[in-house]
Amino acid sequence: MTTIPLSEVTEARYIDEALRRCGALDPGRVTSVTVEHSFATILSHIFKLRLSYEGAAAHAPATLFLKAGLPDRPGGPWPGGRQEVAFYTEVAPAMPAGIAPRCFDAHWDADTGAWHLLLEDLGDSHLAATRWPLPPTLAQCESIVRARARMHAAWWDDPRLGVTVGRWHDDATSDASMKALAGQFARFADHLGDRLSPERRDFHARLLDAMPRLMARYHTHRHMTIVQGDAHVWNCFLPKAGGADDARLFDWDSWRIDVGSDDLAYMMAIHWYPDLRRRFEKHLLDCYHDELLARGVRGYDRRALHEDYRLSVLWQTTTPIHQHAIDIPSVIWWNNFERVHLAAADLGCRELLAG
């Protein structure tokens, strides 16, 4: 694919063609595009675009969001852009509407790593539950985990997984990932020095040793689905009108095939301090499981979810190490590291290292 400069993406002609391809514009015409505001996140740049039309365009979007990479980020454009483009080109068209924002155009350039997405603006109908780092209320969390359950149920043990949608990690890929993690942890431990306790050094050494055995759950390829990966609560828009089934999940640059409990562990064990997590955790797992059953998932009981969740929390202790490796700010990975280890202790995850 050829590189498309962002200056071209924001031209009326380009957006007109993108909307027309999606059936979102007929018979009107986009006459102008204005950047209302823009801001950079850690891994991308977001532009809010306002569109002007000529002719009949009553059902065409008045605004769009353009999401693109950060070419000046150390190490070049964020490689996750390729993943998110793949989500909107491979996954989103094959799943029920109303789970993710509508995408009108998705592009990734293999030579340069440049990428962009033209996404639906949900600002009039939806909102983020809170501003980071404040957790949502229990009722809002219920809406979020039920939205995740609907997404997971839509792909639960789908025969397309690993065939036409996503890919399974084989033994060679898993071995390479484990070697990469060992290197990342060595650098992580060296950076922290005596701020990393001997107990946690031992924990991660044992985890690295146990990984081939722990991967057995993944290699069953049973009770698996598509997970968001970056599944914190601020990557979910809730409906302003309070519709229970209309939450939208966004930021899909870490999606993969895995156990659904990975998204729940990322949401709760990594981001919540013990008091709130202990009060909300079991109830939200119950809500998630109830929604799975309501959406047609069979043969996966509540105990299986509990065991998968414990294993997911154990795996999530490696997430802050990966975040450190890709230069995520320390205010994020350090707090995540502390919280997820407290969750792992509460759930007895160390027992899983013994086999």
Mean pLDDT per 10-residue run, the chain (355 residues)? 79 96 93 95 92 93 94 56 94 93 94 92 95 96 97 98 95 94 98 98 98 96 98 96 84 96 98 98 98 98 98 98 95 98 98 91
Q: What is the pLDDT of residues 268-282, one digit of tens each?
A: 999 999 999 999 999
Is 355 strand, coil or helix? coil
Q: Which whole-number Å values give the CA distances from 177 to 22, 134, 182, 183, in the listed order?
A: 38, 33, 9, 10
CA-to-CA distance for 142 and 290, rounded, in angstroms? 11
Determine the pLDDT at residue 179.
96
Q: Which of these, 158, 152, 145, 155, lies nearest to 245 by C-alpha position?
A: 145
Q: Where are the alpha helices (DSSP H) in the chain?
A: 6-9, 12-21, 80-86, 138-155, 171-192, 198-214, 216-219, 261-268, 274-294, 302-316, 319-325, 330-346
Contacts of 122 (CB under 8 A, 6+ apart): 101, 237, 248
Determine the pLDDT at residue 141.
97
Judge residue 210's burial from the number of C-beta atoms within 10 Å of its C-beta, 0-12 exposed, 13-18 middle, 19 or more buried. Answer: middle
